[in-house]
Amino acid sequence: MERRTIGAAALEVGAIGLGCMPMSWAYSSSSQRGDRSLRTVHTALDAGANLLDTADMYGPFTNELLIGRVLKERRAEAFLSTKVGLLVGDGHVVANGRPGYVRRACDASLRRLQTDVIDLYQLHRPDPEVPVEETWGAMAELVAAGKVRALGVCAMGARARRRWGDVRRDPYEGTIRQLERVQQVFPVSAVQAELSVWSPEALDRLLPWCASRGVGFLAGMPLGNGFLTGTLTPGGGFEPDDLRARHPRFTAEMMAANQPLVAGLRRVAARHGDGVTPAQVALAWILAAGRHVVPVPGTKRERWARENAGAAELTLTEADLREIRALPGARGSWD
Say if residue 168's pLDDT is above 80: no
Catalytic one among 58, 101, 121, 172? 58
First to last CA, the chain: 36
264 CB neighbour count, 10 Å cutoff: 18
Q: What is the pLDDT of residues 195-231, one digit of tens each?
A: 999 999 999 999 999 999 999 999 999 999 999 999 9
* Cβ neighbours of residue 211 closer than 8 Å, sequence gap 6 or more: 217, 290, 292
For the ranges 25-34, 35-44, 122-131, which has the lowest average pLDDT? 25-34
Give residue 186's pLDDT: 97
Share the mean pLDDT of the chain. 92
Q: What is the pLDDT of residue 28?
A: 61
Ramachandran category for residue 165: left, alpha or beta (phi over 0 → left; psi -120 to 50 → alpha): left
User: Angle at CA 195, nearest 5°, toward 258 and 60?
Assistant: 105
Query: Model confidence over 253-304: pLDDT tens digits?
Result: 999 999 999 999 999 999 999 999 999 999 999 999 999 999 999 999 999 9
Domains of the chain: 3-226+289-314 (3.20.20.100)
Residue 58 annotated as catalytic: yes
